[in-house]
Amino acid sequence: MEVTTLDPWAELSRLAWGAVTPKFSYLPEIWRALVNTIAVAFGGISLACMAGSLLAFGFHWTPVRLACAWVRAIHELFWAFLLMPLVGLSPLCAVLAIAVPYAGIFAKVYAEIQQESDQQPLQGVPAQTGWLSRFCFGILPIIYPDVKHYTAYRFECALRSSAIMGFIGLPTLGFHLETAFREGIYSEVWAILYAFFLLIASLKLWVKPRLAALYVIASFAFFAQDVHLSWDNIYRFVTYDILPWPMRRDGVYAGTQAVTFAWAPVWAWLQEIWYGEALQGIWNTLVLTQIVLAGTAVVALLQFPGISRHFANSGTRWGMQGWLILLRTTPEYILAYVGIQLWGPSMLPAMVAISLHNGAILAYLSGQNADLVTLTADASKRQLNRYFYEILPRVYGQFLAFLFYRWEVMMRESAILGILGVYTLGFYIDSAISDHQLDKAIVLIVITALLNIGIDTTSQFVRRRLKISASLVTSG
């Protein structure tokens, strides 16, 4: 952690001044990027929803479960890096980058919702009834509210993912946001951010289930003209670009025929990546992940009383709710980018960004749970005693469960923030892609996915050992 900027407070004052003087006249110039952001989110979430629904039926099969774990372990920005050589810097690249990992997430969540649903309506169904009829008439009506709620939440996440795709050159809001940041035009920065916040806040007003199909069709129609697929690029990517450099150098790919090849150069090449970049990236990613895991817990525990009826009045709760909405709506990538402008590239901006973003999510959930607690008549009137001896013990188990559920997400965020100059795995992946070393980037992305799967497995083990779940004790 270090501050490398000479005068961060001067930059912070300029940023604050931009917040109160947003240049809304700039927004008509970026209307297409705004529409692209929405269209990409609808396109990505629709493909992911369809694929995830199909995969959920086979989620009990180990190969399907492992495949879903694999695709969701890779951040959507990394998927965008992989897909760029195939489809170019187009909205389709962003759509597919969102659809692939979200399909794995939907498959897991939909399968769990179905497994935990009430099976009583199926008891009277004849055994010869087809599985599709059993699902449509016995299970779907029961799980539909939960599926709809989670899909709506994921669409909000897709909007955030769509926006940050612009930071790597794709034509969404992030492209203009990064440009304004780099040029120090903070009035334009805040105009874009306010427009994005308004977009998120108004979702319930314009995103209706009965209009979803219309939105999806309109989205694909909007950017269909920008889709330019080249089968030559796809063939070259599969048969050449992703091959390790020694295989290409030694002529394994020679137009249309393969030649004899020894594995020793490939092994030496892998060792060079492992000792030269991967080990350092893994260590930094794990260090940052564990710091933000603890930081998120502290931020959440300090903030959730501000939205609970047991500690705050209505005015304070409204103000804290607005603050938490701001933090959890702003993508952590943007928060980290702001931090880098103020303090320079180090782990400090990433720590603050990830801790604030995830802490706001957990503070909101913990505050909602705290409001479900019924205090006894002899409960302490002192807020400090009420916090430590009445409320926190009753919500702490569920708080830990939510924290460890977010552990996997924090690891992905720690890795991807390397793109901004923090020496995590994302830094080395971004450097490899910038140097047109796609083979090295793929190796590092595979390592990132394996690391993320390991964190997820560890999280599940810890939750089982601590015997923590989503259950909540609401009274003493």
- Ranking 75-79, 357-361, 441-445, 464-468 by mean pLDDT, the lowest is 464-468
Q: Whole-number mean pLDDT of the chain?
A: 84
Residues 443-464 as b or e (16 or more Cβ within 10 Å = b): bbbebbbebbbebbeebeeebe
- Euclidean distance between CA atoms 198 and 203, whole angstroms: 9
- Euclidean distance between CA atoms 101 and 49, whole angstroms: 11
Residue 254, strand partner residues? 257
Q: Check residue 126 and give its pLDDT.
A: 65
User: Which residues, other chains included, contact 268 with Cβ-Cβ below 8 Å and sequence gap of 6+?
Assistant: 246
* pTM of the shown model: 0.83
- Ranking 50-54, 98-102, 185-189, 419-423 by mean pLDDT, the lowest is 419-423
Compute the average pLDDT of residues 211-215: 88
Question: How many Å separate Cα 138 from the centre of its chain?
Answer: 33
Q: Check residue 474 and give its pLDDT.
A: 39
pLDDT band at 125 (very low <50, low <70, confident <90, very high): low
Q: Check residue 375 and give its pLDDT.
A: 80
Q: Check residue 162 and give its pLDDT.
A: 92
- Euclidean distance between CA atoms 124 and 83, whole angstroms: 48
For 91, the 3-state DSSP assignment is helix
Compute the average pLDDT of residues 291-306: 94
Ordered alpha helix ranges (H), 135-278: 140-164, 173-183, 186-201, 203-206, 212-223, 231-236, 245-249, 264-273
> Does the pLDDT at position 314 exceed 60?
yes
Q: Check residue 89 and give its pLDDT.
A: 79
> Does the pLDDT at position 222 exceed 90?
no
Q: For 60, how many CA atoms within 13 A lie in the half-sphere containing its CB?
A: 3
> Does the pLDDT at position 283 exceed 90?
yes
> Does the pLDDT at position 30 exceed 80?
yes
